[in-house]
Structure 1
Amino acid sequence: MQLMTGNSLSGHLRLRCEVRADGVPFLSRQSFRAPVHLSKSHVSEDGSELVVTVINPTAGFFDGDRLLSDISVGAKARLVMSTPSSSRVFRMRKYDGKAAICEQKFSVEADGFLEWIPEAFIPHAGARYVQRTEIELEREAGLLFIDWISPGRVAHGEIFQYESLRWEFDLKMAGKLVARERYEMPGEGLEGITAMFEAGHYISIYVAGEMQENWPASEIDALSGADVYLGHGALEGGEVRVVRALCRDSLAARRLIERLRSLLYKNANLKAPSLGRIFM
């Protein structure tokens, strides 16, 4: 695969996190190429998690850009992946512009843990984007996977003015498919969102392993309010939980993610590692 094809970028991110004999996690393998870059990783204060920040050194995704990611977490390793700023996809060329594509695969082995907590995804007016996600969990693997989709550049008046967003998501537990999502948001006709909030932010969260045990249902219910419409439940088999939320604006979305993350870590008797980001 060429780095550049015409006016487009084709990049990749390949990581494997394992744990040393002394229990400290480290990257045993890493490879990346624009439009993605890694900042220097660090170990959490208690030494249990490796925190990796993924950066887009370009302005964002342009038409035809393609990113392939393959992230694996070894047995007993704990990996937290974050982004320091929002991800953006820009207006596609009117006649020959192709959708930007992000394909990402995550795998977590037994007693391993992965947290994926990006900043908001912001589609600009006229943008086309496809995201395909595959997650494979072994038994006793842990997961906290967050997707945050904004309605666009609200401050510029670009609310649901993107051309199309397509999300494809598969989650397997011990080889069995437990969740499959396929949905396309055309940027118009989204009355289900706009009827509640004019510029609503959508949040989707999947939780597996120790964080979903003794599920704090009442505490999560209490996070709903005038600015947050939230629901949650268990998938078939009871080993994976899902949280869905529609938030009034970015501030409400950020507060919800912060509070829910803190609650889930506390419920599992774990300390949430610092991401080096500002929360509300």
Structure 2
Amino acid sequence: MPNVTGRVSAAFVEANGQTRLSDRFHAYPLKIAKAFPFEGGQLGVYVMDASPGIMSGDHYELDWRFGEQTNVFITNQSYTKVHPSRAEAGAAGETMPVLSRQKQTLRLQRGSYVEYMPEPLMLYKDAAFLSSTEVHLEPGSALLMSDVVCPGRTQRGEVFQYDRFQNKLSVFYSGELIYSGRQRIEPARQRLGGIGSWGAYTHSGTLYLFSDLADAALAERLREFIQLEVRDNTAQAHMPMPAERLYTGVSRTYKHGLVLSILGHKVYEIQRLLDAAWQWLRRELFDKPPLLVRK
């Protein structure tokens, strides 16, 4: 197994309507750079990577524990950049990339509310990256989580030139598996432009909601909202956006969850739509005001 080269571990508690960090630990190059209060007792947390990005063979671990009735928003300061993987000889003499890895664990106790909104993931040419996230929820807890994946440094012509990207998400509710997502992309071995794959799109974005309140009626309302946003304006700039620029879908998980999936060509277009859906869910489902996050 690779060495752990970056680690964040944090626990949160609620007291008198305010959430605070009760315990924290970080190991270079990761650190909790800032923690500050938002309105309504919500605590904002910024994670910083002091290195140029995830290098070949690096292994990051992030462990988050949210106590009862805590209210937390987590993000990072910039893109997660995955650098090229060096090659080494395998057991049979073949050349294999040295994988980079990231493992995340989120544990939400009863009544906790968490928004986990990291900046996009960018996979450089020849990068080989394995990402694994495991979520454990107790009844009454809620998680809103997003991810955006870029195909490379597109201004340099890097589009699907990475070696491999594997992404795994497992969500448990009271110990029962309610969602399992698996993704494995190897551009050199797959026809990404084919039917049932990426087609002409290059960037992807996903917004996950896991909550007791997620049901079929909410899924339909979210679909209607997304259709209006795509057709009429972007989330923040209120500028026309051709519908074909983005391909969207809303699906329900096995229990207690919704997934909004977006394919597009530009990060900012995907992020605007994800932000609009996130703010809509904050308002419609949790009666929370808009949250402005400055970076």
Structure 1 and Structure 2 fold alike (TM over 0.5): yes
User: Counterpart in 2 of 1:212?
Assistant: 214
The gaps in structure 1 that reach 5 residues or longer are none
User: Counterpart in 1 of 2:8?
Assistant: 13
User: Counterpart in 1 of 2:192?
Assistant: 190
Name the SS for the 2:61 alignment partner.
Answer: strand
Residue 101 in 1 paired to residue 111 in 2? no
Is the 2:45–2:74 Cα contact (8 Å) retained in structure 1?
yes
Name the SS for the 1:171 alignment partner.
Answer: strand
Rounded Cα–Cα distance in structure 1 between residues aligned with 2:213 and 2:268: 25
Rounded Cα–Cα distance in structure 2 between residues aligned with 1:254 and 1:57: 24
Q: Deviations over 1:18-77 (max 9, x none)?
A: 111x21100001001123111121110x24211001111100001110111110111100
Rounded Cα–Cα distance in structure 1 between residues aligned with 2:270 and 2:133: 22
Which letter maps to 1:201?
H
User: Counterpart in 2 of 1:140?
Assistant: 140
Name the SS for the 1:226 alignment partner.
Answer: helix
Name the SS for the 2:229 alignment partner.
Answer: coil
Which region of structure 1 is more displaced relative to structure 2, 213-222 or 77-86? 213-222
**Structure 2 counterparts to residues 44-123 of structure 1, below 5 A:** 44=38, 46-95=39-88, 97-123=97-123
Q: How far off is 1:210 after superposition?
A: 7.0
**Structure 2 counterparts to residues 139-158 of structure 1, below 5 A:** 139-158=139-158
- Correspondence for 1:229 among 247, 264, 268: 247
Which region of structure 1 is more displaced relative to structure 2, 111-120 or 88-97? 88-97
The gaps in structure 2 that reach 5 residues or longer are 90-96, 231-242
Which letter maps to 1:113?
Y
Rounded Cα–Cα distance in structure 2 between residues aligned with 1:108 and 1:271: 22
Is the 2:74–2:115 Cα contact (8 Å) retained in structure 1?
yes
Superposed CA RMSD in Å reads: 1.9
Q: How far off is 1:99 after superposition?
A: 0.8
Name the SS for the 1:114 alignment partner.
Answer: strand
Rounded Cα–Cα distance in structure 2 between residues aligned with 1:51 and 1:274: 11
Is the 2:47–2:77 Cα contact (8 Å) retained in structure 1?
yes
Is the 2:34–2:47 Cα contact (8 Å) retained in structure 1?
no
Q: Deviations over 1:174-220 (max 9, x none)?
A: 111011122211124212555232xx211122102377366233112
Rounded Cα–Cα distance in structure 2 between residues aligned with 1:193 and 1:153: 21
Is the 2:73–2:116 Cα contact (8 Å) retained in structure 1?
yes
- TM-score of the aligned structures, taking structure 1 as reference length: 0.89
Q: 1:193 to 1:116 in 2, by over 3 A?
A: same
User: Counterpart in 1 of 2:165?
Assistant: 165
Name the SS for the 2:87 alignment partner.
Answer: coil
- TM-score of the aligned structures, taking structure 2 as reference length: 0.85
Percent of pairs identical after alignment?
Answer: 20
Name the SS for the 1:95 alignment partner.
Answer: strand
- Correspondence for 1:260 among 274, 277, 283: 277
Residue 26 in 1 paired to residue 20 in 2? yes
Rounded Cα–Cα distance in structure 1 between residues aligned with 2:267 and 2:135: 27
Which region of structure 1 is more displaced relative to structure 2, 8-17 or 239-248? 8-17
Rounded Cα–Cα distance in structure 1 between residues aligned with 2:205 and 2:49: 21
Q: How far off is 1:166 after superposition?
A: 0.6
Is the 1:35–1:67 Cα contact (8 Å) retained in structure 2?
no
Q: How many residues align?
A: 267
Which letter maps to 2:226?
I
Rounded Cα–Cα distance in structure 1 between residues aligned with 2:290 and 2:35: 16
